[in-house]
Structure 1
Amino acid sequence: MNEADRYKIISENYADIILDDWNREEVRQKFSGDLINHINSDIAFAYIPVDRMTLDSINQFGYYSMPGCYGLLTAEINHECLLDPKPQGFEGYDGKGVLLGFVDTGIDYRHPAFRKKDNTTRIASIWDQSIRSRDNHPRGLYYGTEYSKEQINLALQSSDPLSVIPVTDDIGHGTIMAGIACGSEDKDNHFQGVASEAELVIVKLKPAKQYLRELYIIPDGVPCYQENDIIAGVEYLDRIASSLNRPIIICIGIGNNIVDHVGLRISSRFYTSIGEKPGYVFITAAGNEANRKNHYYESIAPEAITADAELHVGKKNPGFMMQFWGQSPNFFWIDVYMPSGDFLMRIPPVDGQTKIEKRDNGLVVADSALGIPSNHNQSIIFRFHNPMEGNWTFSVFGSMGDLPREFHFWLSLHNFLAEDTYFIKPNNYTTIVGPANSAGLLTVTSYDVATEKLDFYSSRGFNVDQFPKPDVAAPGVNLPAPFPGGSYVSASGSSVAAAYTAGITALVLQWGEAEDKADFLNTPHVKHIYQLSALRDEDMKYPNEDWGYGILNPQGILDVLKELMAL
């Protein structure tokens, strides 16, 4: 690929399209004059001039081909270390020989938490997507800069490491997650990660392009990352693990709420296939969207014709996104009423239709899709620009009959919303974000060890196809973690719980893979073992919409592993 084509990958003048059917003649013709980069045998990215992005782009290019915008899933950071939950079990195991991979905000590679006792690094490699280089990008990925362990060690020997390797983590989220999972022991600060001898592979995501931020109405200054960069990051982790012939845990602490909530996006299917490889475990954070009032669920009563969902919009709201999801086999119509009571639009169950309505200074765009996976459920993506203040009403009516007429609405991640945008009668369930709502991934929700209660904001509830999610609950409130600049903090959120679980899983893979006791272990196996061994309340029914199969139980995991190996 020449330099001009490589520039298109990162240029704000080019939009990105995700393709998993790029061998079809129809697709080849549609993008015949465009740059297409084949990431692997199944997935390619097309780069097209951004002026081809119009108000109907979601329908023009496809529900699953438009990259989603993903946000961070840490809920809170305190600059005091409060709690240090030491896992019981796996004594004598430290994760040595296992890789932990993170696709996130980067890492402070200079922090003592990521160095060995001899002051060398515990990071096997870093791919920083945000740093341009002519020749030092990963093979076949063509953007960013890759740094090897040897280069990182040279930087650490320098009086000014950043002048050698300018990788930073300005937000701290990636540093927190990596440190919780496998930070080195620091006796002076009373800190140690779960798998303190595992090695790290780090992908620092570049920020989402401006056209995507505008398309999805993401507020300025809020971190967000685009789906195809995350896919490329996971592909990179896979390549590194394969080249080193090492088991790897891939941990994702970012998510998206404008998804199918069943895990059938191109990215989710790719992650599931990666996690099925022997020696690979793919762990995702459930999200922090419960009690945010950004989900609505209704089943229209048999005797009723319609059901009304009410959404409150506050003053001077610049805009937001919302998704409707109608459960198959029924089809639904939606009448939209403004806070003034005026009728705005009717949206019928028509595939590939984009309806646009302007009223005063506001604009509403609604993209309808019927031919998407998951039993051809009905999706409508709403985009509200400068919406009128007050209570909006969405009057939903579906085809009559004796089958349930169930539907959902979701707003964007709370990170992307103004605080005064919420449903009047919200529902806390089916709030697990993508990709964590995928059946094939290990999904972790967060609980507070001190109170033995689920974290107030932890996403919960089975996915829209009623597949049990989350899988387990893990410590995720006030866990100590390294922070950029050499300090330590306490962090909370489902991404924290996922990182803790990733550390436990490194111990599991060390037991099973590195010591040749169970070299077949992968995501489905590990998920099953965690479900079997979880701690459960005898007064609850499992799988549980709040707790999954129970609380992650390291000692119980080891007991189950030993029992299975004895069979």
Structure 2
Amino acid sequence: MNEADRYKITSEDYADIILDNWNDPEVMQKFANDVVNKINDNIAFAYIPIDRVPLSSFNQFGYYSIPGCFGLLGSDNGNEAAANPMPYNLEESSGKGVLIGFVDTGIDYRHPAFRKSDNTTKIISIWDQNIKSLERYPDGLYYGTEYNSEEINFALQKEDPLSVIPSTDDIGHGTMMAGIACGTRNDENNFRGIAPEAELVIVKLKPAKQYLKEILLIPDGIPCYQENDIMAGVEYLNRIAAKHNKPIVICLGVGNNIVDHAGLRIGSKFYARIGEKPGCVFLAAAGNEANRQNHYYGNITGNSISDFVELQIAKEDPGFMIQFWGVSPNFFWIDIYLPSGEFLVRIPPIDGQTTIRQYDKMLVIADSIVGIPSFHNQSIIFRVYKPVEGNWTFMVFGSMGDLPREFHLWLTMHNYLHEGTYFLKPNIYTTIVGPGNNTGIITVSCYNTSTGELNDYSSRGFNVDEMPKPDIAAPGVNIPAPFLNNSYVSASGSSIAAAFTAGVSAHVLQWGIVEGRADFLNTPHVKHIFQLSAQRQKDMKYPNGDWGYGILNPSGIINTLKDFMNI
């Protein structure tokens, strides 16, 4: 790929399209004159001029081909580290010989939490997607800059390491997750990582392009990352593990609420396939969307013909986005009424139809999609620019019959919602964000070890196909974590719980892969081990939408593994 083509990957003048059928001759012909980067045998990213991305882009290119915008799944972090709530006992193992990979906000590689006892780095490599270079990008990925451990160690010897390697973490989210998973012990700050001898592979995501943020109504100033950049980051981790011939735990602490909630996006399926490889465990945070009033569940029963969904729109809300999902085999029509009571538009179940309505300064776009690969469920993507303030009504009609007429509506993640925009009758379940709805991924929810209660905001399951999610609950409230400027803080959120679980997963891979007891271990195996060994309350039915199969139980995992292997 020449420099002119490489420029298009990061240029704001070019839009990104995700393709999972690149070998289809019709698809190859459609993008014959565009820059295309092939990630594997089937998946490729095409880069096209943004003037070829119309208002009907979801139907023009396909529901799954427009990259989603993913946000951070850490809810907050305090100023001081809390008491360490992370007891574990895994027979003195430490994660040695295992890699843990994060695709996130980067890492403060200078922090003592990421140095070994000899003061060298425990980071194998960093791919910073933001730093441009002529020849330092990873093979076959063509953007950003890659730094290996030798270069990091050289930088650490300098008075100003950033003058040698300018990659850093401006937000701190990636630094916290990496530290919780495998940070070096620091007694003064009451901190220890779960798998302190595991090594790190880090991808720092570049921000989403402005055109995509405008399409998806993402506010400026809030961290937002493109789905295809995350996929490229995961592929990078996969290649580094193969290069070093080491097992790897891949952990995602970013998520997206405008998804199918069945786990069938191109990225979600891509992650699940990587997780099936022996020596790989793939984890995703469940999200922090319960009790955010951004999900509605409806079920039109009996002789009823419709359901009224009320949505409060805040004053001066610049715009909002909604995903409608009608559960198969029924089809639905939606009438939208403005706060004044005035009828605005009807959206029928017609595949490939984009409806556009202008009302004064307001623009409404609805993309209707039928037959996407989830048992022919119906989807409608609503985008409303400069909406009228007040109480909107979505009148949902379902096809008549003796089957339940179930449907869902999701607003964007709370990170991107204008304060004061919410459903008046929300539902806290089916709020797990993508990619955590995919059954091939280990999805982690978040609980408070001090109270024994699930975090109020921790997203709940099941997914829309009634498959059990989350898989496991892990500590994720007031967890001590490394932060910027050599500091330590208390961190919370489902991404923190996922990082905790990543550290535990490294112990499992050390026991099975590194030490040669079970060289076949992969994500499905480890998920089952976590489920079997989880702590459960006697009066609760499992799996359930709150806790999944129960609380992660590090002290019982090895015994379960031994039973599994008949040792």
TM-score of the pair, normalised by structure 2: 0.99
| Residues 175-214 of structure 1, C-alpha deviations (whole Å, 9 max, x = no match) | 0000000001123322110001100000000000000110
| Residues 271-321 of structure 1, C-alpha deviations (whole Å, 9 max, x = no match) | 000000001000000000000000000100121011111100010100011
CA–CA distance in structure 2, aligned partners of residues 248 and 83 of structure 1: 29
CA–CA distance in structure 2, aligned partners of residues 565 and 323 of structure 1: 44
| Residues 4-24 of structure 1, C-alpha deviations (whole Å, 9 max, x = no match) | 000000000000000011111
Q: Give, in angstroms, the shift of residue 76 of structure 1.
A: 1.1
Residue of structure 2 equivalent to 1:143: 143
Residue of structure 2 equivalent to 1:218: 218
Asked if residue 416 in structure 1 is aligned to residue 416 in structure 2, the reply is yes
SS in 2 for 1:499: helix
Residue of structure 2 equivalent to 1:401: 401
Correspondences of 1:291-330 after superposition (within 5 Å)? 291-330=291-330
Kept in 2, the 8 Å contact 1:89–1:558? The answer is no
Counterpart of 2:216 in structure 1: which amino acid? Y
TM-score of the pair, normalised by structure 1: 0.99
Asked if residue 455 in structure 1 is aligned to residue 455 in structure 2, the reply is yes
Kept in 2, the 8 Å contact 1:87–1:194? The answer is no
CA–CA distance in structure 2, aligned partners of residues 83 and 335 of structure 1: 52
Larger mean CA deviation between 19-28 and 452-461 belongs to 19-28
Q: Give, in angstroms, the shift of residue 83 of structure 1.
A: 2.9
CA–CA distance in structure 2, aligned partners of residues 229 and 56 of structure 1: 23
Q: Give, in angstroms, the shift of residue 51 of structure 1.
A: 1.1
Correspondences of 1:190-205 after superposition (within 5 Å)? 190-205=190-205
Kept in 2, the 8 Å contact 1:177–1:499? The answer is yes
CA–CA distance in structure 2, aligned partners of residues 18 and 200 of structure 1: 28
Kept in 2, the 8 Å contact 1:56–1:354? The answer is yes
Correspondences of 1:67-86 after superposition (within 5 Å)? 67-86=67-86
Kept in 1, the 8 Å contact 2:81–2:190? The answer is no
Kept in 1, the 8 Å contact 2:190–2:480? The answer is no
Counterpart of 1:564 in structure 2: which amino acid? F
Counterpart of 2:57 in structure 1: which amino acid? S
SS in 1 for 2:374: helix
CA–CA distance in structure 1, aligned partners of residues 27 and 83 of structure 2: 53
Q: Give, in angstroms, the shift of residue 89 of structure 1.
A: 1.8
CA–CA distance in structure 2, aligned partners of residues 525 and 294 of structure 1: 34
Q: Give, in angstroms, the shift of residue 561 of structure 1.
A: 0.8
SS in 2 for 1:289: coil
Q: Give, in angstroms, the shift of residue 371 of structure 1.
A: 2.2
| Residues 482-506 of structure 1, C-alpha deviations (whole Å, 9 max, x = no match) | 0011000000000000000000110
CA–CA distance in structure 1, aligned partners of residues 560 and 389 of structure 2: 56
Larger mean CA deviation between 398-407 and 287-296 belongs to 398-407
Q: Give, in angstroms, the shift of residue 26 of structure 1.
A: 1.4
Correspondences of 1:171-190 after superposition (within 5 Å)? 171-190=171-190
CA–CA distance in structure 1, aligned partners of residues 93 and 124 of structure 2: 20
Residue of structure 2 equivalent to 1:335: 335
CA–CA distance in structure 2, aligned partners of residues 59 and 563 of structure 1: 50
CA–CA distance in structure 2, aligned partners of residues 130 and 270 of structure 1: 23
CA–CA distance in structure 2, aligned partners of residues 307 and 405 of structure 1: 10
Q: Give, in angstroms, the shift of residue 544 of structure 1.
A: 1.1
CA–CA distance in structure 2, aligned partners of residues 154 and 89 of structure 1: 35
Q: Give, in angstroms, the shift of residue 86 of structure 1.
A: 2.9
CA–CA distance in structure 2, aligned partners of residues 376 and 509 of structure 1: 38
Q: Give, in angstroms, the shift of residue 461 of structure 1.
A: 1.6
Kept in 1, the 8 Å contact 2:86–2:475? The answer is no
Correspondences of 1:23-38 after superposition (within 5 Å)? 23-38=23-38
Residue of structure 2 equivalent to 1:515: 515
* Structure 2 gap segments, 5+ residues each: none
Counterpart of 1:265 in structure 2: which amino acid? R
| Residues 445-503 of structure 1, C-alpha deviations (whole Å, 9 max, x = no match) | 00000000000000002000000000010000000000011000000000000000000
Q: Give, in angstroms, the shift of residue 85 of structure 1.
A: 2.1
Kept in 1, the 8 Å contact 2:14–2:47? The answer is yes
CA–CA distance in structure 2, aligned partners of residues 83 and 565 of structure 1: 36
Residue of structure 2 equivalent to 1:380: 380
CA–CA distance in structure 1, aligned partners of residues 357 and 396 of structure 2: 18
Correspondences of 1:486-525 after superposition (within 5 Å)? 486-525=486-525
Asked if residue 544 in structure 1 is aligned to residue 544 in structure 2, the reply is yes
Residue of structure 2 equivalent to 1:280: 280
CA–CA distance in structure 1, aligned partners of residues 518 and 164 of structure 2: 41
CA–CA distance in structure 1, aligned partners of residues 299 and 562 of structure 2: 46
Residue of structure 2 equivalent to 1:88: 88
Larger mean CA deviation between 428-437 and 354-363 belongs to 354-363
CA–CA distance in structure 2, aligned partners of residues 111 and 316 of structure 1: 42
Residue of structure 2 equivalent to 1:270: 270
Asked if residue 134 in structure 1 is aligned to residue 134 in structure 2, the reply is yes
Residue of structure 1 equivalent to 2:19: 19
Kept in 2, the 8 Å contact 1:319–1:386? The answer is yes
Counterpart of 1:239 in structure 2: which amino acid? R
SS in 2 for 1:15: strand
Q: Give, in angstroms, the shift of residue 29 of structure 1.
A: 1.7
Counterpart of 1:522 in structure 2: which amino acid? N
Kept in 2, the 8 Å contact 1:533–1:553? The answer is yes
Please list every run of at least 4 consecutive aligned residues from structure 1 whose deviation after the TM superposition is greater than 6 angstroms: none
- The RMSD of aligned alpha carbons is 0.7
Counterpart of 2:105 in structure 1: which amino acid? T
SS in 2 for 1:381: strand
Residue of structure 1 equivalent to 2:66: 66
Residue of structure 2 equivalent to 1:254: 254
SS in 2 for 1:373: coil
CA–CA distance in structure 2, aligned partners of residues 255 and 214 of structure 1: 18
Kept in 1, the 8 Å contact 2:255–2:433? The answer is yes
| Residues 484-540 of structure 1, C-alpha deviations (whole Å, 9 max, x = no match) | 110000000000000000001101111111100111110000000100110000010
Q: Give, in angstroms, the shift of residue 88 of structure 1.
A: 2.6
Residue of structure 2 equivalent to 1:553: 553
Residue of structure 1 equivalent to 2:44: 44
Counterpart of 2:351 in structure 1: which amino acid? D
CA–CA distance in structure 1, aligned partners of residues 188 and 346 of structure 2: 64
Kept in 2, the 8 Å contact 1:128–1:203? The answer is yes
Larger mean CA deviation between 352-361 and 445-454 belongs to 352-361
Correspondences of 1:95-110 after superposition (within 5 Å)? 95-110=95-110
* Aligned length, in residue pairs: 567
